[in-house]
């Protein structure tokens, strides 16, 4: 009787994390979002747990998407669910033939460990993999001061991207973009280090492609 009670107690307090879904990946929306076709021709959108890839339009956004696609597109995957996000997407760890895809993306330098939402015990290991990728300058870590996507989204939410203008002028100086006004400033501008000037660009063309407009008093094309 005592053993039975202990077994029931163990089952109640022990969290169960099991494979929630298996199927074929039919779409890769971005570096951390895929769609899986399971039995019954049901499509389920999956947000990869614990990682955050560059957004589309952000430097390395397309590269991250391409890398994820190279790992999962058209392949049979298993999804272990850890959460459901506010958009109704299943949030989970994806594996292909035993390979942890979330972990591989971080280790290859195409994602950050998602500080705010990566809460499992293995997340500390993922942070270590991120640091190793950064040290080796893999993927996005080959860029100077890459901007975390959660910071990038703060500046682009509810804002539409403007068409990138022609030209590819670059200089040794960097430009600072104001995430609220969507204006970028040169190093000689008095607003260069303003409170909201937290996005760094290394060319006029890069800033414009991100949807920012130049401050004509201090930036000359």
Question: Which positions are catalytic?
Answer: 47, 55, 89
Burial class (CB in 10 A: 0-12, 13-18, 19+), 154: middle
Q: Which residue has the tokens 């022609």?
A: 166
Q: Which two tokens stand for residue 145?
A: 């001061």
**β 42-48/90-96 pair status:** parallel
* DSSP-H helix ranges across the chain: 2-13, 61-72, 101-107, 123-135, 149-156, 204-209
Cβ–Cβ < 8 Å for 43, 79:
no
Q: What residues form DSSP beta bridges with 201?
A: 175
Q: Which two tokens stand for residue 137?
A: 């300058």
């Amino acid at each position: 009787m005592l053993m039975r009670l202990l077994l029931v107690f163990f089952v109640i307090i022990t969290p169960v994390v099991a494979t929630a879904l298996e199927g074929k990946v039919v779409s890769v929306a971005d570096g951390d979002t895929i769609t899986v076709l399971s039995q019954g021709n049901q499509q389920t959108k999956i947000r990869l747990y614990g990682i955050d890839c560059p957004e589309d339009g952000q430097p390395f956004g397309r590269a991250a998407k391409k890398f994820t696609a190279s790992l999962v597109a058209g392949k049979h995957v298993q999804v272990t669910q850890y959460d459901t996000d506010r958009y109704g997407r299943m949030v989970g760890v994806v594996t292909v033939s035993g390979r942890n895809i979330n972990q591989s993306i971080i280790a290859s330098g195409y994602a950050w460990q998602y500080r705010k939402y990566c809460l499992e015990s293995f997340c500390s290991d993922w942070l270590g993999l991120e640091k190793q990728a950064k040290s080796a300058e893999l993927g996005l870590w080959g860029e100077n001061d890459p901007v975390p996507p959660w910071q990038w989204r703060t500046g682009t939410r509810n804002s539409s991207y403007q068409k990138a203008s022609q030209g590819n002028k670059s200089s040794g100086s960097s430009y600072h973009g104001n995430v609220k006004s969507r204006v970028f400033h040169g190093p000689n501008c008095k607003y260069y280090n303003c409170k909201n000037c937290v996005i760094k660009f290394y060319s006029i063309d890069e800033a414009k492609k991100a949807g920012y407009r130049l401050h004509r008093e201090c930036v000359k094309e």
